[in-house]
Amino acid sequence: MDPVQVNLGGVPETLLWNLYQRATEARQDHPVLRDPKAVALVEAIDYPFAARFGSGELGQWQALRAATFDREVRRFLGTHPDGTVVALGEGLETQFWRVDNGRVHWLTVDLPETVEVRTRLLGTATGRQSVAAVSALDPAWMDQVDPRRGVLVTAQGLLMYLQPAEVHGLVADLAQRFPGAELVLDGVPPWFSQRTQAGQMRTKQGYVTPPMPWALDAAERRRLLAIPGVDEVRDLVPPRGRGPLHGWVAPVVNRSARVRALGLTGLPILRLRFAAA
Ligand SMILES: C[S@@+](CC[C@H](N)C(=O)[O-])C[C@H]1O[C@@H](n2cnc3c(N)ncnc32)[C@H](O)[C@@H]1O
């Protein structure tokens, strides 16, 4: 197969960073996340991954983040085996193939230029998989969801790129449209958000992370909980990884409510539950 050209910029290009990190981890002897499809995608894409992003030093960190989302999807499918997972800003995530139980319904929601790339690389979504090529902020995608079998919405690596008012509006819309559903999301701490907005987050190779205006700390958790229809906001702790940092330090730090309150954890991941109708 000829290498596939991918020309993305701005926020959509960040999906290649995530994919590359996951694939780098998946190539390890004992990966924290098995993801052969991510490896195949990186091999198929004509893009200077190493020249832009380095050698994938954050692979394990990224894979543990994805593993936390996988755990939530599997937990949801345990009680809703033929429920609907809506993956907002899915990019080239290969989660469907990691968690598919043969019954789940899956809706990918992403921007048109990203959906075009996803379709070229992963094929047209058919059967239990479908796609909405619109912004997550466009409520049109919600009409594609049949809520009767249960709904889990994920937003992995998306909300930090939105404005705070957009995040709050989206959460309010989801709570109203999908009573009883859950939303799993991740964010970045305020210091990280500030650095991206100052253009100071760059790889050694010169790739500059786009601005991340939405930050997640204790005050923001309270704001999310105050949104009408949000019943519960729960912190999720990633699984234990390999080595001193991911095997010992991160698990202790991520479990500390005080560290979380200070916005110092590297991996704030939350599950929101919406009030039932
Ligand atoms: C960092 S990537 C995350 C991709 C994937 N979720 C992952 O974790 O590998 C950000 C993704 O958000 C998408 N995106 C950016 N703005 C969006 C919006 N308003 N609505 C839906 N998707 C958006 C981009 O196209 C890209 O796929």
158 lies in some domain: yes
DSSP string, 59-75: HHHHHHHHHHHHHHHHH
Whole-angstrom Cα distance, residue 103 to residue 85?
A: 11
Q: Are 32 and 239 in contact (CB under 8 A)?
A: yes
User: In the prediction, which pLDDT does 220 show?
Assistant: 95
Query: 233 near 272, Cβ under 8 Å?
Result: yes
Distance 157 CA to ligand 1 centre (A): 6
What is residue 266's predicted lDDT score, i.e. its pLDDT?
A: 62
Residue for token digits 């999301």? 185
- The pLDDT of residue 29 is 95
Tell me which of 13, 15, 52 to substitute to probe ligand 1's pocket, judged by most ligand atoms within 8 Å of the beta carbon. Answer: 15
Residue owning the nearest CA to atom 13 of ligand 1: 89
Identify whether 59 is part of a domain: no
What radius of gyration, in Å, describes the C-alpha atoms of the chain?
18
Q: Are 108 and 132 in contact (CB under 8 A)?
A: yes
Crossing angle of the two packed helices 59-79 and 10-26, in degrees rounded to 10: 90
Any domain includes 177:
yes
Q: Hey, whose CA ends up nearest to atom 12 of ligand 1? A: 89
**Closest C-alpha to 218, from 259, 272, 271:** 259
Residue span of the structural domain in which 169 resides: 64-274
Any domain includes 15: no
- Specify the pLDDT at position 205: 85
Longest Cα–Cα distance of the chain, Å, equals 51
For residue 87, what pLDDT is reported? 98
- Is residue 162 one of the residues assigned to a domain? yes
Tally of domains in the chain: 1
Residue whose CA lies nearest to ligand 1 atom number 7: 93
Residue 206: the pLDDT is 85
CATH of the domain at 266: 3.40.50.150
Residues in contact with ligand 1 by the CB-under-6-Å rule are 11-12, 14-15, 18, 88-91, 93, 109-111, 114, 135-137, 156-158, 161
**What are the beta bridge partners of residue 234?**
271
Query: Is residue 46 one of the residues assigned to a domain?
Result: no
Which amino acid, one-letter code, is at 271?
R
User: Six-digit token pair at 5?
Assistant: 């050209």
* pLDDT average per 10 residues of sequence, the chain (277 residues): 86 95 97 97 95 90 97 98 98 98 98 97 96 98 97 98 98 98 96 94 89 95 98 94 81 70 71 96
C-alpha to C-alpha distances, 24 to 83, 244, 264, nearest whole angstrom: 31, 19, 26
Domain membership flag for residue 103 = yes
**Assigned domain for 43 exists:** no
